[in-house]
Structure 1
């Protein structure tokens, strides 16, 4: 089974390589801790956003106010996508991790300021603990041009 999975991964890598696609990522700014991951990976017109929290750059900690933290987190994703020539509406899926499910409505109130319909597909997942003591963490996938072409369904 492992040989089959490895073979599929290698075939996929070869297919991407043959089309000339290559991954691009972000190098952390000078003075920040080096982490063993990229803040994003771009493959062609798709950007994969790594987990991001709303930490204050000066203190390295999330703000005490969950609304401010959520806004900082979403602002960082917005900045990243803008630098890649995209908007928040190009996000097709996001996953939100939260340490307190009672903050669901608080988060949604902030979230609605960053997106227009059709909203990205989304999961809101409870987590025991997040890095830096954050209440929220986001990760997602953006597709350049999705804002103009995506449609949504409802449950």
Structure 2
């Protein structure tokens, strides 16, 4: 059995800043790279955890859309936080994007994230196309 592997890229999310892809599709599965709060043109979002979290979700939404997926196709999310004391704020924003859909999730406090951001999120989704 051969599974095709496809790189997913969109100009609606920041370009990869290293030797990786925004996302990879293998068969019906999609894995995103960790998204940090960069705008599509590569600028770091100003502001605190709320602004940064919304930007990360905008980036993930753009990648999902490019792959032909939506939030309801997400099966696993990993959230990396600089400060676990910000979990409640992030959780509320997270719920606003997923609604009634509740994928599996892990949340980890990280000593340091790329570009010293406050949050990074990666996800896995099942594609139906």
Over 3 Å counting, the alpha-carbon distance change for 1:45 and 1:113 in structure 2 is same
Hey, what's the Cα distance between the residues in 1 that align with 2:121 and 2:16? Answer: 19
Q: Which residue of 1 aligns with 2:105?
A: 122
Q: Runs of 5+ in structure 1 lacking a partner? A: 1-14, 146-155
Hey, what's the Cα distance between the residues in 2 that align with 1:33 and 1:144? Answer: 22
Aligned with 2:72 (options 84, 89, 102): 89
Task: Check whether the contact 2:77–2:104 (CA below 8 A) recurs between aligned residues.
Answer: yes
Aligned with 2:59 (options 69, 72, 76): 76
Q: Which residue of 1 aligns with 2:27?
A: 44
Instruction: Give aligned pairs, total.
Output: 126
Q: Could you say which structure has the higher helix fraction?
A: 1
Aligned with 1:26 (options 8, 11, 16): 8
Over 3 Å counting, the alpha-carbon distance change for 1:139 and 1:59 in structure 2 is closer
Q: With a CA cutoff of 8 Å and minimum separation of 6, indicate the structure with the bigger relative contact order.
A: 2
Q: Give structure 1 regions of 4+ aligned residues with deviation exceeding 4 angstroms.
A: none
Q: Which residue of 2 aligns with 1:67?
A: 50
Please tell me whether Structure 1 or Structure 2 has the larger radius of gyration of its CA atoms: 1
Aligned with 1:53 (options 19, 23, 36): 36
Task: Tell me the CA shift for residue 118 of structure 1.
Answer: 3.4
Tell me the TM-score normalized by structure 2: 0.86
Task: Check whether the contact 2:73–2:125 (CA below 8 A) recurs between aligned residues.
Answer: yes
Q: Deviations over 1:92-116 (max 9, x none)?
A: 0000000011110110111111102
Over 3 Å counting, the alpha-carbon distance change for 1:144 and 1:57 in structure 2 is closer
**What's the RMSD between the two structures over aligned residues?**
2.1
Q: Which residue of 2 aligns with 1:132?
A: 115
Tell me the TM-score normalized by structure 1: 0.73
Q: Runs of 5+ in structure 2 lacking a partner? A: none
Hey, what's the Cα distance between the residues in 2 that align with 1:141 and 1:114? Answer: 15
